[in-house]
Amino acid sequence: MSEPSQGHGHGHGHGQGKSAESELPEINISERGAPKDGKPQMMDRRLFMQLLVFTSDRDPQYPAHDLALELAKNKVASVIYQDVNDPNGLGLLTWGEDPSVFVDAVRPAIHRVSHGNLKLRPEFTMLGRSYSTGYENDLEFWLLRRPVETVLDPENAWCVWYPLRRSGAFARLDGREQGAILREHGTIGRAYGDKGYAHDVRLACHGLDAKDNEFVIGLLGKDLHPLSHVVQTMRKTRQTSEFIVQMGPFFVGKAAFRNSGK
């Protein structure tokens, strides 16, 4: 965050009063969807999701099993993945509307079962929030229910999770050009989804990521190859080829335990 400009603090202390306040931009942190029944959809709720990746000095099946039981006992919604690229590794995906769950429930559960056998790989940590694009017909479904249904679906055995950052040049494009670029990207994603090949979870992570990434993407499906294939296909889009400056690291896993938190 940049430092406040000189003379533009809180205003009242500098004798500027209401005139200074009237110059401030209007702030609305609510999510917005497409109009429904002639009324705009607005909602100040969203889902936070976090992926933690661990390695172990022994067979991770045992801490994974114990962790799954501990999370279920405490009604913490979660998915535990076997790390394809680390024979001693696992990934833990948890979520909630209140991000305090990661500190108040997830962290203690990890400490209770780890006994030093789970070593965090911080380079793979991902934290994001569901967000709206303004076109959602059912805002609550897309923000709160669809991400959960996607990660808990037993058909979606495989996952690829990764962060990404776009260049500042994309933000400077006018809205019409941005829309065309995003539609190209979105059309490909919908085509894979309609075929049942890959389903996505899109999260914003502005200010939440240690490496200044902007988004976290989860690709999930019953087979691994289509998840790799959609990433390959997306490379040809204008968004990826021109405006994405960083992607990854990529976590590849297969679901071992699922818990709805109920």
Within a domain: 81: yes
Read off the pLDDT band of 1 (50, 70, 90). very low
Our CA angle for 199, 201, 204, nearest 5°, is 155
Average pLDDT of span 183-199: 92
- Residue-level pLDDT at 16: 55
Within a domain: 118: yes
Q: Is the pLDDT of residue 12 over 80?
A: no
Strand partners, 32: 42
Please tell me the total count of domains within the chain.
Answer: 1
Within a domain: 64: yes
- Residue-level pLDDT at 86: 96
Residue 61 to residue 90: CA distance in whole angstroms: 9
Over the chain, what is the mean pLDDT? 90
Q: Is the pLDDT of residue 106 over 70?
A: yes
The CATH code of the domain that includes 124 is 3.30.70.1030
Within a domain: 9: no
At 254, give phi and psi (nearest 5°).
Answer: -125, 130
- Residue-level pLDDT at 134: 85
What range defines the domain where residue 187 resides? Answer: 48-257
More confident residue, 46 or 136: 46
Output the CA–CA distances (angstroms, integers) from residue 136 to 30, 48, 133, 184, in the order listed. 14, 18, 7, 17
Of 3-17, 42-56, 107-121, highest mean pLDDT: 42-56
Q: Is the pLDDT of residue 218 over 60?
A: yes
- Residue-level pLDDT at 59: 73
Within a domain: 17: no
- Residue-level pLDDT at 212: 94
